[in-house]
Copies of this chain bind each other. A is one copy, B any other.
Amino acid sequence: MSELLTKAKNAKLAAREIAKNSTEDKNKALLAISDGLRKNVDYLTSENKKDIESGRNQGLHDSLIDRLVLNQQRIIDMADALVQLTELNDPIGSVMEEWTRPNGLKIEKVRVPIGVIGMIYEARPNVTVDAASLSLKTSNAVLLRGSSSAIHSNKALEKVIHEALEGTNVPVEAVQLLEDTSRETAAKMFQLNEYLDVLIPRGGQKLINTVVKNSSIPVLETGAGNCHLYIDESADKNMAIEVAINAKTQRPSVCNAIETILIDQKWADKNGAELLSQLQEANVKIHGDDWTVKHAENVVPATEEDYATEYLDNIVAIKTVESVDEAIQHINTYGTSHSESIITENDAHAIQFLNEVDAAAVYHNASTRFTDGFEFGFGAEIGISTQKLHARGPMGLEALTSMKYQLHGEGQIK
């Protein structure tokens, strides 16, 4: 039997076992893994060096090499995150709703694990520990398919995790890494509906698209954020400028940073020049419409393509609009339904924007940079969903759970 099929079958069996583990069992396992990481810093960094070296030999970009690196600090951070995870409530087993039917049948809606999670990800080896620990906390088994560029690091992390789990009640095979990182095997994995309950791709848009297009297993899709800030006519000048600078520049490479600023024409005529100059002082390159080109130096005329682009860089598109309706229309046309914000003192406009903009997170008078599981107070995050089914927006532990109905009767028949 192939490695994939063997491990998928083992994962399904392990899922049944870990579903029976208590919260205490699971937290002990998380602490054991945390200790294992701390004790194995030397082993992990030396295995990691093999990946770094082979990455350098293959001419990987510095930014990619940086993502590959496991140094002492990063290992300690992972170990600390595991301890924090033990402090979060265990969602499994909680009764979400309960009611009794006229025939006396009592119905309880109970939170249960999903089963087997297939995780497909790119360079960062920390995802190995992230995915393993969040799956474990939610009583799921996980089958990890990392990239070949991180294979030594991932195998070393799996070894540390397995050694830690051996001393606990959690089955070792609840966490398994595929050593075969070929595309052919990944393609087979996408069709293993019998053993895998969900696939979670984490990485670039290309990886995510490949999984979405080719998987017959349900996918928890995370994805691009072409996010907008709309500055309404009545927006407070300082608030608007401060939020614009923050949402664009605080970390431009992330999905919840803004890519386009839409400005009400009247606000633009009054305060727009100051916004443009402050953006440029913050080293932001501007691609703008006619109004923008007229009101600042060094503005690249914006094209249709600009409005559809997630720059993930110190670049912003700027466009003036005549109304909140036009802003909503623009966002629903070019946006990726991630995070969208309106700055306004006009409550009617705020309500209209929050209701009519179709996105996971819609903000009134705040930066879009808060769309993540930690900022939302979930204490953990497996990714930010850009789809509408099962989970939308930041996904914490609950996104890794399913439910079942437990019905209690006294012999009811239909």
> Measuring CB to CB, which residues of chain A are less than 8 angstroms from any residue of chain B?
16, 19-20, 99, 101, 105, 107, 112, 114-115, 191, 193, 197-198, 212-216, 218-220, 236, 239, 242-243, 246-247, 250, 332, 343, 354-356, 358-367, 369-371, 375-377, 387-390, 392-393, 402-414
Report copies per complex. 2
Nearest-Cβ distance from residue A56 to partner chain B, whole angstroms: 34
| Chain B residues with CB under 8 A of A364 | 406-409
| Chain B residues with CB under 8 A of A236 | 411
Q: Are A239 and B361 in contact (CB under 8 A)?
A: no
User: Complex Cα distance A25/B393, Å?
Assistant: 29
User: Complex Cα distance A334/B379, Å?
Assistant: 38
| Chain B residues with CB under 8 A of A367 | 412-414
Nearest-Cβ distance from residue A363 to partner chain B, whole angstroms: 5
User: In the complex, which of the residues B19, B107, B361, B377 contacts A404, with contact meaning CB atoms closer than 8 Å?
Assistant: B361
Which of A16, A239, A387, A411: most chain B CB closer than 10 A?
Answer: A411
Q: Are B356 and A19 in contact (CB under 8 A)?
A: yes
Q: Are B114 and A377 in contact (CB under 8 A)?
A: no
Further pairs besides A197-B388, A366-B408, A376-B405: 11, Cβ < 8 Å: A19-B358, A105-B370, A197-B389, A198-B389, A218-B218, A250-B414, A364-B406, A365-B410, A389-B389, A392-B404, A393-B405
| Chain B residues with CB under 8 A of A214 | 216
User: In the complex, which of the residues B19, B99, B218, B413 contacts A387, with contact meaning CB atoms closer than 8 Å?
Assistant: B218
| Chain B residues with CB under 8 A of A406 | 354, 362, 364
Nearest-Cβ distance from residue A322 to partner chain B, whole angstroms: 19
User: Complex Cα distance A387/B409, Å?
Assistant: 25
Nearest-Cβ distance from residue A213 to partner chain B, whole angstroms: 5
| Chain B residues with CB under 8 A of A363 | 407, 409
User: In the complex, which of the residues B250, B359, B412 contacts A370, with contact meaning CB atoms closer than 8 Å?
Assistant: B412
Which of A236, A369, A376: most chain B CB closer than 10 A?
Answer: A376
Q: Are B404 and A359 in contact (CB under 8 A)?
A: yes
Q: Are A250 and B356 in contact (CB under 8 A)?
A: no
User: Complex Cα distance A406/B359, Å?
Assistant: 9
- Known A362-B405, A364-B407, A409-B364; judge A101-B377 contact (CB<8 A): yes
| Chain B residues with CB under 8 A of A408 | 364-366
Residue of B nearest to A240 (CB): B411
21 pairs, CB–CB < 8 Å, chain A vs chain B: A105-B370, A115-B358, A191-B213, A218-B219, A343-B411, A358-B404, A359-B404, A360-B404, A360-B405, A361-B404, A361-B405, A362-B404, A362-B405, A363-B407, A365-B412, A367-B414, A371-B405, A390-B390, A392-B402, A392-B404, A393-B404
